Amino acid sequence: MRRDDLVARDAADPILRRDRFTLADDLIYLDGNSLGPPVRGAVRRVADTMQTWGRDLVSAWNSAGWVELVEDVSGRLAPLVGADPQQVTITDSTSVNLFQALVVACRLRPDRPTILLEEGGFPTDRYVARGVADLLGRTVRAVPRQQLVSAVTGDVAVVTAAHVDYRTGHRLDAQTIGATAHDVGALVVWDLAHTTGALHVDLPAWEADLAVGCAYKFLNGGPGAPGYLWVAEELEVPATIRGWWGHAEPFAFADAWEPASGASRFRNGSPAILGLQPLDEALRVFEGIRGEDLNARAEELTSLFIDLIDEHLADAVEVVSPRAPEQRGAQVSLRHPAAYPVMQALVEHGVVGDHRPDDLLRFGFAPLHTRWTDVWDAVATLQDLLTSDLWKDPKYAAPNKVP
């Protein structure tokens, strides 16, 4: 394989949308699994919204269509999770949405005491699950990801896990977990933060019951973009947080709460218009792209990266992500004892990934904006830094607040 072959492949790639993002041509950005880059229309949308706000003030809810914006953006997201638009809503943060989802699931299984989750999952998932258990008098049982299926027993009210692990990129078999849980009467709540926008998702086919995720990673919605919540069509249950925006007629200002239809009932306060505008632009970039094609490109990009690591750096780093493409997300993690300074050196030399304690170098391969040549050049830069020991400069060991 030659780099020139990859240049030609980039030019002909039907999925690559690099030109739709504000990325410098010489930047190798492999951190879209932490914060996706802005699409080109996002800056203009936010600026236009600020001008509209200043000109129209409160009337902009009607004149600028702000009141319908959350419906519009939720509708754009729906195909990326295999959903009907009525089943998904943009609202709140992933943590708040997970709290709502787990409370709903536990209340639907009042005689079952256990919330089953994965050991070592993303901290917010564990914190929220334990908080729900304390609130409702339930018990949390944590097992290794690979043991989730065998751990689903008759006492389990709900199984919750990240579809793709944030540290290793390991991908769970969602269909098997969904079917196993339903066989014993348990419900399933997925965290799709490291999945949506990078892999094919079909929540109904997975036999999922509820799902949550964020919009600032592979969906490129911007830092702190609002999260989303999906609920299966058959789960017509009240929301946990019964806010006025989740009312069937919020501007009737009725005394009694009457839930809106579908997932809309899980909204509570007014939608974050400044956060929805860049997300709306970002989701437009996905139009016309099939989830299966995202999946295939993510698997091919990560496979190329692993092959190049094996060829050039097998003695210097350890690949900790699964080798089988269908068992990993759009991410590869490498182990190195000095992962933090190595990553800081990489960033200074134009390859942006990130670090996770204690010893992981983490690289995300967003199908829409990662070039084949980025993969090649990232490995070449890492090889240069490790063989030259340039990363040992003390400046690279200085800690950042966000590692």
Residue 46's closest CA among 27, 23, 29, 69?
Answer: 69
In the set 29, 122, 228, 363, the catalytic residue is 122
Question: Strand 210-213 vs strand 187-191: parallel, antiparallel, or unpaired?
Answer: parallel
217 is catalytic: yes
Reply yes or no on whether 392 is catalytic.
no
Query: Is 122 marked active-site?
Result: yes
Q: Which residues contact 342 (CB under 8 A, 6 or more apart)?
A: 336, 361, 382, 385, 386, 391, 396
DSSP-derived secondary structure for 175-208: HHHHHHHHHTT-EEEEE-TTTBTTB---TTTTT-
Planar angle of CA 164, 225, 104, nearest 5 degrees: 65
Q: Kind of pairing, strands 156-162 and 114-118?
A: parallel
CA-based end-to-end distance of the chain: 34
Catalytic (active site) residue 166: no
Six token digits for residue 287: 């139009």
As a whole number of angstroms, the distance between CA 328 and CA 302 comes to 9
Exactly one of 362, 365, 374, 396 is catalytic; name it: 362
From 112, 138, 171, 217, the catalytic residue: 217
Contact, 349 vs 381, CB < 8 A? yes
Residue 29: strand pairing partners: 352
d(CA 377, CA 305): 10
> What would the two tokens of residue 233 be?
């069509």
Residues 6+ apart with CB under 8 A from 183: none
DSSP one-letter string for 305-317? HHHHHHHH-TTT-
Catalytic residue among 216, 286, 305, 396: 216
C-alpha–C-alpha distance, residues 174 and 354, integer Å: 27
Query: Dihedral through CA 86, CA 91, CA 94, CA 100, nearest 10?
Result: -70
Residues serving a catalytic function are 122, 191, 216-217, 362
